[in-house]
Every structure is written in structure tokens, then in C-alpha cells.
Amino acid sequence: MKGSEHRRRVGRFRFGIVVSKFNRSVTGKLLASCLDELAEQGINPADVDVERVPGAFEIPLIARTMAMTGRFDAIICLGAVIRGETPHFDYICAETSRGIGQAALATGVPIIFGVLTTETVAQAMERADPSKFNRGREAAKAAIEMAKVMRRLNAMAPPLGSDATLLPRRAASRPGR
């Protein structure tokens, strides 16, 4: 199906991508594959914004800030944390994954975890290999899938946006109130 035909059928989606520069030889491949997959799924390149951050640790703040603009149907986070010899690895992995999950729940916008966490550079290269269904493509597919689910659910009721607004709305819509 052509891009324009796909857009006509599924609607227009906008995506934000946050990609870290640390381990650029890996994250550059993830980004290229992610963009390829979005384009192949009919997403207009003009509807994709890319922001670059120094390392994986900085991803959650920018993902959350992009989500809060209200401009995007989903945010895709791409990075590569490679253990090497340092215990730094564990702290960065923990904070990055926690921060990404928290940003999604706080904003109500799907935020996709496309961050590789590996023991070695070779393992990271393998999972970023453009000749395979790599983590960048996988993240793009997950983002499209989540954007569609959210659009369908939001069409059933006005978007609530955050946990803070969820409770009063639910309470107000209870029968008999």
C-alpha cells in the first residue's frame, strides 16, 4: 500500500524520536532502521521529529518534554547502553527504563523503549543490524501499534491525559452521580 493510501485509511500520525549520541555507531543504525520502518508503514517523514541527547540517561526528560507538547501520537526512545567494565551500566539502565516508563504514565502518551542494553559492542551491533529485524524497526512498529490503540481508546472518551485527572473523571461518570 502506498504511503498516501495508508494515511487515508489509518489517519495521520506524528512521532517523536529521542536518540542518544553515546555509542553512535550503534544508535545511528537504530535510528536509520526506525526511520525506514516508519516510512515503509506509510508515515510521512515530515511528521517525524528527531531530538538527539548526549546519552541514554538524558532520554527520559526529552521524551517526557516531547510528549507534553501534545504534538505526537507516540515517542520512540533509541539508545545503546553497553556494560563494558563499569557498574555505571546498571545505574544508567535502571534510570533510563524507569524514567521512560514514568514519562509515559505521567503524560498519557505511548513512549517506546528502544534502548539496547548489552554486555558487549558486538551484541549491540548484532541487535542494530540493518539487514535484520532490529530494535530500531521493532520500536517503530510498537509506536505505530500503540498510536493506533490510543487513538481508538481516546475516541471512546475524551483523553484524560494524566493520572491526576483520571480519578475525578471516572468518579463523575459513575451512574447515579
Residues that bind ligand INI (CB under 6 A): 20, 22-23, 54-58, 79-82, 84, 86, 88-89, 92
Residues 6+ apart with CB under 8 A from 14: 47, 48, 49, 71, 72, 73
CB-nearer residue toward ligand INI: 50 or 150: 50
Query: Which is nearest to 113 in space by CA: 121, 104, 122?
Result: 104
CB-nearer residue toward ligand INI: 92 or 144: 92
CB-nearer residue toward ligand INI: 11 or 84: 84
C-beta separation of 105 from 163 below 8 A: yes
CB-nearer residue toward ligand INI: 33 or 117: 117
CA separation for the pair 81, 116 (Å, rounded):
6
Respond yes or no: is residue 88 known to be catalytic: yes
CA separation for the pair 125, 121 (Å, rounded):
6
From 71, 88, 98, 169, the catalytic residue: 88
Give the number of other Cβ atoms within 10 Å of residue 100's Cβ. Answer: 23
Residue 79: phi and psi, rounded to 5, are: -165, 175
Residue 67 C-beta: closest distance to ligand INI, Å: 20
Sign of CA dihedral 110, 163, 155, 62: negative
C-beta separation of 159 from 110 below 8 A: no
Active site residues: 88
